[in-house]
Every structure is written in structure tokens, then in C-alpha cells.
Amino acid sequence: MLAAMKKDLHDRLWNAQQRWFAMRAEGATKRDLKLRGIREAQDANLHLRALIFTGSTKRAVEETLKAFVEFAHERFGARRLENIGKREFKAFIEDGIARGLAASTLEARCSHLSKYGALTGQSASYFALAAKYARRVRGMVRSGDLPDLKRFTPSPDVAQRAIEILRAWDESHRARTGQPRGYHLAARLQVTIGGRSVSVTERLTRNSLKGADLIEVIGKGGRPVLAPVPPDLYRAVAELLERTGVPLANRDGYRMAWRRAVQAARGKATGTHGLRRRAARGFYSDAYAARIALGMSSEEARREARKEAVGRLGHSRDRTDQAICYLGPAA
């Protein structure tokens, strides 16, 4: 019975991704779906919860939801996906809190369970519970009942040292194999334009070069974004892409190399997403200074700088949750 439930769940997640592929082929975008949700119910994610956008998201969600289904089956005897409701949701999250799971894990569970509700015809109730428990987790972090959510961001000095280490390793690789490698260029792009690791590696090709020091990166949801880069960085990226005819770098190889480079630089933020947060803080600082120079009050400048930084990352400018994620609650 449990195996059949997990197979059913797997199929529903696969179908959710196929629905998105079909919609995208017909011209749909995530932005359009968000705006539609806002118009219809003041809920930007109304039409997104029943969709899966990437393979990595599907894997992460499936891992959580299979654990949830197994929990509901063993604790409450659930035999069908539709029979797993509010009681099981609450117990699953409460069990995680009791076991001392990290705040980040608990928040991810809430987000993933919203998907479960959408896939089983319980979207409204699951969304309400997910929002309720996410607020509770954040409150427990503020009160000290849960450890603070640690999202390490490299300092500018550590990031620069790690990039130089990657540059030396890339040069050594070229001398040894005769093949150029662009790991340090991917890192420079991330910290300059705030791109995701996949956007500056496997999705970056010769077609991404748009001239006038502009590079087109494919952001979240497959949306193309034109990003200005310094002339020297543009030339270096263009030279490597034209020479090899392949994407800038292998994402997994780049991520592993970045981890080792940060460790060699005696830093802690070993994930490449830390460079995206580093970029966001740079966007925020520049935007804040510019608005203060225009005569805005500190509070106005902070508010507008938050919006600009989040927008530069490819999110909706009004996403306060993303502002907290990338800039911290004090920004």
C-alpha cells in the first residue's frame, strides 16, 4: 500500500512538471501566472502550486512528500493520498519541531506541503496551514526557541580570494590539459549580476553574448534577462565561449571547485548561492546610497533599495520574504 501511494505521488509530481512544460511551450510565463493569481485572489502563487518547474525542485519536493506520506501511513494508517489532510499536516510539522529540525528544513517542509495540497485537491487548506506554520517557525527563531537560519554569505575579501584561487586552478587546468576552463569567470558573473549557478554555467553559451557588454542570462522560470557586465569580464567570457563552442562551465564541477576554493581562502560560505547573496547586498548598498543622495529619508531609501535588490535577482520587487532571505531582517 505504501509503495503504491509513493508511486502515485511520483506520477503526480511528474505530471505537474509536464503541465508546466506544455504551458511554457504555448507561451506561458511564471510572471503571467503570478499576475493572474494576484488579480484573481491576491495570491501570487495561486496558479503555481500545482506546477513543478525544474528537475531539482521535483527531486527536493518528492523527497519531502514521500517522507510525509510514509509518516501519515505509519502514524495514522493513511491509505490514499487524498485522505491525508490537516491532522497529518500538523502532526508532521510538530514532529519536526519536536525532533529539533533546523528552521530552514521546517520552512522547506511547509513550502513543499503546499504543493501536496495542490496535487490532492486541498490547496486552500494546505496553503493556510503552511503559512501559519512558517510564521510560527520564524517566531521561534526570533524568540530563540529554534536556532537562527544560517545562510552564510562570503565577505568581499573571501569572495575575491576564492575567485583568484579559481583563476589559478583554471590556468593550471589549461596548462595541464590544453583545454580552457571558466570556473573563475562563472564566480565573477555570479557576484557581479547575482545569477544562479546554473545561469552562469550550463545555460551560458555563445548565444548569450548580446554585444555592448550585455549578457543574456536565463533566470528562474526560464525567463531571459539582459545583464550589463564590466568590459573586461565580457571580453573574457566571450573569448572562452567563442573558443570552445560549449557552455561556460559544468555546474556541478564549478560548485565543487568553488567549495574547495572558499575553504582554501579560509571562508565558511562554501555554497555558490552565497555569491548571489553577496551580489544582492551590493545591489542594496548601491541603491541605498543613490537614494540617500536624492534626499530620501533613511526608511524610504531602505524600502526602495530592498525592492531594487530583490528585483535585480529576478524576483518580484515586493517579495519581502526574498528580501529577508538575501539581505536579512535588518535591511
pTM of the model: 0.62
Hunting for cell 502550486 — which residue is that?
A: 49
Q: Which helix (H) or strand (E) holds 215?
A: strand 214-218
CA angle 241, 243, 247 (to 5 degrees): 30
Q: Treating both helix axes as pointing N-terminal to C-terminal, what angle do 103-119 and 86-98 enclose, rounded to 10 degrees? A: 170
Q: How far is CA 277 from CA 30, 145, 213, 324, in A?
A: 22, 26, 23, 11
Cβ-proximal residues to 204 (8 Å cutoff; 6+ apart), any chain: 186, 189, 215, 217, 237, 241, 247, 248, 249
The sign of the torsion formed by the CA atoms of 184, 189, 192, 194 equals: negative
Is 237 within 8 Å of 215 (Cβ atoms)?
yes
- In CATH, what number does 156-268 get? 1.10.443.10
Is 117 within 8 Å of 48 (Cβ atoms)?
no
Hey, where are the domains in the chain? 2-143, 156-268, 274-327
Ramachandran region of residue 29, left (φ > 0), alpha (ψ -120 to 50) or beta?
Answer: beta
**Model pLDDT for residues 160-218, shown as the tens digit of each residue:** 999 999 999 999 999 999 999 999 999 999 999 999 899 999 999 999 999 889 998 88
Is 181 within 8 Å of 217 (Cβ atoms)?
no
Is 13 within 8 Å of 58 (Cβ atoms)?
yes
Please identify every stretch of the chain with a pLDDT value under 70, giving residue numbers as ranges: 147-151, 220-222, 321, 329-331
Long-range contacts of 45-49 (CB under 8 A, 24+ apart): 45/114, 45/127, 49/114, 49/115, 49/117, 49/118, 49/123, 49/127
**Model pLDDT for residues 35-61, shown as the tens digit of each residue:** 898 899 888 888 888 888 888 788 889
The pLDDT score that the predictor gives to residue 204 is: 92
